[in-house]
Chains A and B, each alone.
Chain A
Amino acid sequence: MGIVIFDGVAYGMLLFLIGVGLSITMGLMNFVNLAHGTFAMVGGYAASVLMARLGLGFIPALAAAFVAAAVVGAVLEVVFYRRLYRAHPLDQVLLSIGVVFVSVAAFTWGFGPSMQPFNLPPWLDGQVSLGGFEVGRYRLFLIAAGLVVFAGLLLGLGKTRYGAMVRAAVDNQRVAGGTGIHVQRLFFLTFSLGCGLAGLGGALSLGMLGLEPTFPLKYLVYFLIVVCVGGAGTIVGPFIAALLVGVVDMAGKYYLPEAGAFLIYVFMIIMLLLRPNGIVPRKGLA
């Protein structure tokens, strides 16, 4: 029982790490960015290539993954996304799903269709004893990383000047602009941050999910579940949702393997019926 919950929490943390960036871009900036997985993939490839070919350590590789995904996000923001902030959501969906297909083809061309090799560093391999349970070190690391990112975002968006500006710009762009906030630059930075977080999540997922060019499509549905169930635009919502999804998925597979991965969708439907705007809805939606 305990180990199932632990695994579920670790898995949920991974979903949170990858999905929280989507919550930021989708909720705060009102941009339906289906290409979120692409940025996670950029981070994953950056980390695995740097580790395999240049012998970089796991922690520097994680930092590099964040930077790589943020830079790619920044470039795409300037070239494409910027033009569609006020566009109809359908246009945003079309653009971002297009980015997904292009990225799948580009990565297949550049890295081949097969999976990227990855080995966990020795200090993350194996298990440690914790409160009577044998738990995986890597999973423990995921939980720690998730908590650090969660706390960092809460503080960053809730307590800093930058966070206050972001919240102001989201609530009312025109007024925020009128008070002297450079909204475009702010969105540019926020979008890059969201992409960087996706990249970090992608790199952290290397030990669990296999990385191949179809990654952005394969796991898209999981990211969307986390953000929709949690409530787009918040940090706490996706955090709770990711943990719930992780634990439900894990417990379902352990106790009811016949139902398989089906349970998670049932869970999503029930949650959306109960709380259509998410567990923690954004202000003004509740």
Chain B
Amino acid sequence: MMNKRTLLASLVLAALGATGAAQAAEPLRIGMIATYSGPYADYGRQFDAGVALYLKEHGGKIAGRPVEIVRKDTGGPAPDAAKRMAQELIVRDKVSVLTGLDFSPNAYAVGAIATQAKVPAIVMNAASSAITTSSPYVARLSFTVQQVTDPMARWMLKEGIKEAYTVVADYASGADAETAFKKAFAAGGGKVVGGVRTPMNNPDFSAYVQRIKDAKPQAVFFFFPSGVMPPAFLKVWKERGLEEAGVKLFATGEATDDSYLDATGDVALGLITSHHYSYAHKSPKNEKFVKDFVAQFGTSMRPSYFAVTAYDAMAAIELALAKTKGDTSGDKVMEALKGLSFESPRGPVEIDPVTRDIVQTVYIRKTERVDGRLVNVEFDKFDRVKDPAKEAK
């Protein structure tokens, strides 16, 4: 297992752009702690793609300095490894910013190191709400589970759905989704009539789906991490004829993650989900992003919300360094990140000045077949959604 991999991907880009005075500039080192091997290796690939796109657009430079990305592979959720890697990156590689952070446990571990070393950590995916509260040196550009779950509950109420059943995977984020959904749904006058938590390593969902079929709720909301669980659930859902039985199905965007949607297949058709990014998002910024992505990486890999967040993280670093006039000291960068707002391929995003968490539009989408490919087509939205778990406090 490779747990230490240092690639200097930007050297070529830097060489292209190094035509003048910038040649002498000290490179800006960014430490990337992500998953490059094992079952979640796709996360690292998407991060790299997003970062590479941004750097290519900007001549390989941020704030006039060539960028050097130092990559570390955690191989999945591994807080101890992530912590050690953060230490190495700060002490030995002298990075100015830590980023990546796909899994929440890793982000918590790195947050503690960021606090000690006063080095900013920018979260590119980890969705557990309290990560930004755990350290003043953490800012998040991805999303929280609650942030995308809460609008789904509100949208369902708007559509006249009064009772719902919840199905979530039995792990921290699943519990977060369940709690957020129940709270938002009850607050709007809805009633959660039942729920089930399924084990993470669950080969067959037929017993759970049968249970739902016998309970006959008006609607079902489910949350599973992206990957093999949503398609397995959707297959049984279709096989059991729940749709014909009149039970409506809703989920968060993980269920129709662009990285897995092709493999999920037709069982996802018509599913309504809520999330912050679909690569079919209609905006000039996103169309350009997708076009550049395809030009560079082909069509076999779709830009997912991982790639977009990685792209945005680079943009945020650039904007923050523009505010500090190139000063990379932790406190100044964090101060500059607070309240930052800019246009991302997913739409307008802001970093909340108080919580350092992202504020963004959450879209309601439906899976449809467009030009022969399954895509998440956005048709409704909730503007400027903050993390509801923090607002409550």
- Name A's B-contacting residues (CB within 8 A): 3-4, 7, 11, 104-105, 108, 112-119, 125-127, 134, 136, 138-139, 207-210, 212-214, 218-219, 222, 249-254, 257, 260-262
Distance of A116 Cα from B229 Cα, bound (Å) = 13
Closest Cβ neighbor of B196 among chain A residues: A257
Interface size (B, Cβ < 8 Å)?
36
**Sorted from nearest, which 4 A-B pairs have the closest CB atoms?**
A210-B228, A253-B207, A261-B199, A254-B207
Chain B residues whose CB sits within 8 angstroms of the CB of A254 once the complex forms: 207-208, 210-211
- Judged by a CB distance under 8 angstroms, whether B340 is at the interface is no
Q: Among the listed A113, A125, A127, A257, which residue makes an inter-chain contact with B40, where contact means beta carbons less than 8 Å apart? A: A113
- In the assembled complex, how far is the CB of residue B301 from the closest CB belonging to chain A, in whole angstroms? 8
Binds A, one of B86-94, B258-266, B354-362: B258-266
- Judged by a CB distance under 8 angstroms, whether B197 is at the interface is yes
Closest Cβ neighbor of A205 among chain B residues: B203
Tell whether, in the assembled complex, residue A126 and residue B263 are in contact, meaning their CB atoms are under 8 Å apart. Answer: no
Tell whether, in the assembled complex, residue A138 and residue B265 are in contact, meaning their CB atoms are under 8 Å apart. Answer: no
Tell whether, in the assembled complex, residue B228 and residue A127 are in contact, meaning their CB atoms are under 8 Å apart. Answer: no
Q: Among the listed A4, A139, A222, which residue makes an inter-chain contact with B203, where contact means beta carbons less than 8 Å apart? A: A222
In the complex, given contacts A260-B197, A260-B198, A262-B199, what are 14 additional A-B residue pairs having Cβ atoms less than 8 angstroms apart? A7-B206, A11-B204, A114-B263, A208-B232, A210-B228, A210-B231, A222-B203, A253-B211, A254-B208, A254-B211, A257-B207, A257-B211, A260-B199, A261-B199
Chain A residues whose CB sits within 8 angstroms of the CB of B204 once the complex forms: 7, 11, 208-209, 249-250
- In the assembled complex, how far is the CB of residue B247 from the closest CB belonging to chain A, in whole angstroms? 15
Distance of A114 Cα from B260 Cα, bound (Å) = 7
- Judged by a CB distance under 8 angstroms, whether B38 is at the interface is yes
Distance of A273 Cα from B204 Cα, bound (Å) = 27
Binds A, one of B25-33, B114-122, B153-161, B234-242: B234-242
- Judged by a CB distance under 8 angstroms, whether B227 is at the interface is yes
Distance of A108 Cα from B44 Cα, bound (Å) = 13
Tell whether, in the assembled complex, residue A212 and residue B199 are in contact, meaning their CB atoms are under 8 Å apart. Answer: no
Known A219-B203, A254-B211, A257-B208: A212·B228 in contact at CB below 8 Å:
yes
Q: Among the listed A136, A213, A262, which residue makes an inter-chain contact with B39, where contact means beta carbons less than 8 Å apart? A: A213
Distance of A117 Cα from B268 Cα, bound (Å) = 13
Distance of A249 Cα from B207 Cα, bound (Å) = 9
- Judged by a CB distance under 8 angstroms, whether B41 is at the interface is yes
- Judged by a CB distance under 8 angstroms, whether B163 is at the interface is no
Chain B residues whose CB sits within 8 angstroms of the CB of A210 once the complex forms: 227-229, 231-232
Distance of A271 Cα from B210 Cα, bound (Å) = 27
Chain B residues whose CB sits within 8 angstroms of the CB of A139 once the complex forms: 206
Q: Among the listed B170, B206, B262, B264, which residue makes an inter-chain contact with A260, where contact means beta carbons less than 8 Å apart? A: B170
Distance of A218 Cα from B40 Cα, bound (Å) = 14
Known A116-B263, A254-B207: A218·B235 in contact at CB below 8 Å:
no
Tell whether, in the assembled complex, residue A114 and residue B208 are in contact, meaning their CB atoms are under 8 Å apart. Answer: no
Known A115-B227, A116-B263: A4·B201 in contact at CB below 8 Å:
no
Closest Cβ neighbor of A101 among chain B residues: B1
- Judged by a CB distance under 8 angstroms, whether B6 is at the interface is no
Chain B residues whose CB sits within 8 angstroms of the CB of A113 once the complex forms: 38-42
Closest Cβ neighbor of B211 among chain A residues: A254
Chain A residues whose CB sits within 8 angstroms of the CB of B265 once the complex forms: 117-119
Closest Cβ neighbor of B206 among chain A residues: A7
Chain B residues whose CB sits within 8 angstroms of the CB of A127 once the complex forms: 239-241
- 8 contacts across the A-B interface (CB closer than 8 A): A108-B37, A108-B38, A114-B260, A119-B266, A210-B231, A212-B228, A251-B207, A253-B208
Closest Cβ neighbor of B44 among chain A residues: A113
Chain B residues whose CB sits within 8 angstroms of the CB of A257 once the complex forms: 196-198, 207-208, 211
- In the assembled complex, how far is the CB of residue B166 from the closest CB belonging to chain A, in whole angstroms? 12
Closest Cβ neighbor of A115 among chain B residues: B263
Known A210-B231, A260-B170: A117·B263 in contact at CB below 8 Å:
yes
Tell whether, in the assembled complex, residue B231 and residue A115 are in contact, meaning their CB atoms are under 8 Å apart. Answer: yes
* Residues 231-283 of B at the A interface (beta carbon under 8 Å): 231-232, 235, 239-241, 259-260, 262-266
Known A113-B41, A115-B231: A208·B203 in contact at CB below 8 Å:
yes
- In the assembled complex, how far is the CB of residue A155 from the closest CB belonging to chain B, in whole angstroms? 30
Known A115-B263, A260-B198: A209·B232 in contact at CB below 8 Å:
yes
Tell whether, in the assembled complex, residue A4 and residue B240 are in contact, meaning their CB atoms are under 8 Å apart. Answer: no
- In the assembled complex, how far is the CB of residue A40 from the closest CB belonging to chain B, in whole angstroms? 12
Tell whether, in the assembled complex, residue A115 and residue B235 are in contact, meaning their CB atoms are under 8 Å apart. Answer: no
Distance of A119 Cα from B263 Cα, bound (Å) = 9
Closest Cβ neighbor of A15 among chain B residues: B203
Distance of A261 Cα from B200 Cα, bound (Å) = 9
Known A209-B203, A260-B197, A260-B198: A108·B240 in contact at CB below 8 Å:
no
Most chain A CB within a 10 A radius of its CB, from B198, B228, B231, B260? B228
Q: Among the listed B197, B201, B207, B231, which residue makes an inter-chain contact with A218, where contact means beta carbons less than 8 Å apart? A: B201
Tell whether, in the assembled complex, residue A114 and residue B259 are in contact, meaning their CB atoms are under 8 Å apart. Answer: yes
Known A112-B42, A125-B239: A11·B259 in contact at CB below 8 Å:
no
Most chain A CB within a 10 A radius of its CB, from B204, B241, B264, B266? B204
Closest Cβ neighbor of B235 among chain A residues: A207
Distance of A118 Cα from B228 Cα, bound (Å) = 12
- In the assembled complex, how far is the CB of residue A116 from the closest CB belonging to chain B, in whole angstroms? 6
- In the assembled complex, how far is the CB of residue A136 from the closest CB belonging to chain B, in whole angstroms? 5
Tell whether, in the assembled complex, residue B38 and residue A214 are in contact, meaning their CB atoms are under 8 Å apart. Answer: yes
- In the assembled complex, how far is the CB of residue A125 from the closest CB belonging to chain B, in whole angstroms? 7
Closest Cβ neighbor of A127 among chain B residues: B241
